[in-house]
Amino acid sequence: MKKTLPLLSIAALFAALVFRSAQAAEGARQAMAVCAMTLVPSLLPFFALANLLSALGLPELLGTLLGGAAERLFRVSPAGAQAFFLGLAGGYPLGASVTADLRRSGRISRSEAERLLAFCNNSGPAFILGAAGGVFRSPRAGLLLYVSHVLAAIAVGVLLRGRKRAVPEGADTPSGNHAAPPPFSKALTGAVSRAVASTLAVCGYVVLFGALLGLAGPWLAALSPLTGAFLRGLLELGGGISAMAGLQPGPVTLAAAAFLLGWGGLSVHCQTLGVTADTDISCARHLAGRALCGLIAAVFTYLGALLLF
């Protein structure tokens, strides 16, 4: 039964794509427009620079400088602190990717990796300030959303920090044991290649879920603009935020956007499963952490919007 139900569900979706191919194609076209107009311009340059900084050793430097504070606050290792800093800087799914890399190298334990996933895989400033702020045509709204998102991530990390951290066997804790950074030209080439791959993966999920949302177009169109955008965002973040274009940035609208940015959408969860697939990390805490982050960010944003708008 566990295998039959997913198979039947996928078969039903395939049949819907066949019989409603025009609607699915229109949804995919709209998703591709979101990728071209919003996601690629806002994500690709930031992914490239974040990967370049990572290759040149900035995360290790941040881990050395701020690792003690992260250990006291979140009870994570200096290596684990890198996932938090890069996750906030680079956006989905960079935090999950860094966490998976740290686990593969044995620098963090499985327990720490699963806790990191709960609060380190976040939306980045490029998307929140550029895309979300642009949708509402308000830099102030974008800044409020980003500050609320950061505070919510910190709050989730504190709430889920658990017991005092135990150093995993064979963990590479001394920062001096890491390999020297590669030459700048090699680091730049690798950073751009990884950025393109990451952006294409994000856009692939956006287009896939856009096609599926195209099947539900008539039902979503019957709802209010905010409700329809919110339901879209539960599945695919970029499409949901883009669907809020034209809405006034009031407390309720911004709180809904803040929840979607914290939740990430089913598309982000699929991306996380993809980057952690070859590890022993369970993504159960990722689901709980993203939902909690969305709720806390929505509360912060609502209260902030009451004062600012």
The domain containing residue 269 runs over which residues?
A: 20-162+184-308
Question: What per-residue confidence (pLDDT) applies to 164?
Answer: 59
Q: Is residue 176 part of a domain?
A: no
pLDDT score at 161: 81
Determine the pLDDT at residue 59.
Answer: 63
Q: What are phi and psi of 241, to 5 degrees?
A: -65, -45
280: tokens are 């022993």
Verify cis geometry, omega within 30 degrees of 0, for the bond prior to 183.
Answer: no
**Cα dist. 190→169, 183, 209, 217 in Å?**
31, 11, 29, 40
Local mean pLDDT, 10-residue blocks, the chain (309 residues): 73 80 88 84 77 74 74 84 82 85 85 92 86 85 95 94 56 49 87 84 85 82 90 88 89 96 92 87 92 97 93
Helices of type H across 160-224: 184-215, 217-221
151: in domain: yes
Instruction: Say if CB 33 and CB 176 are below 8 A apart.
Output: no
Torsion of CA 150, 154, 156, 159, to 10 degrees: -160
What pLDDT score was predicted for residue 250? Answer: 92
Residue 12 lies in a domain: no
* 133 occurs within a structural domain: yes
Give the three-class secondary structure for 109: coil
The answer as to whether 127 is a domain residue is: yes
Per-residue pLDDT, 141? 93
User: Is the residue at 7 inside a domain?
Assistant: no
Q: Are 260 and 241 in contact (CB under 8 A)?
A: yes
Cβ pair 28, 210 in contact under 8 A: yes
In a domain, 82, yes or no: yes
Residue at 291 is within a domain: yes
**Full-model pTM:** 0.82
- Structural domain tally of the chain? 1
pLDDT at residue number 179: 61
* Contact of 223 with 200, CB cutoff 8 Å: no
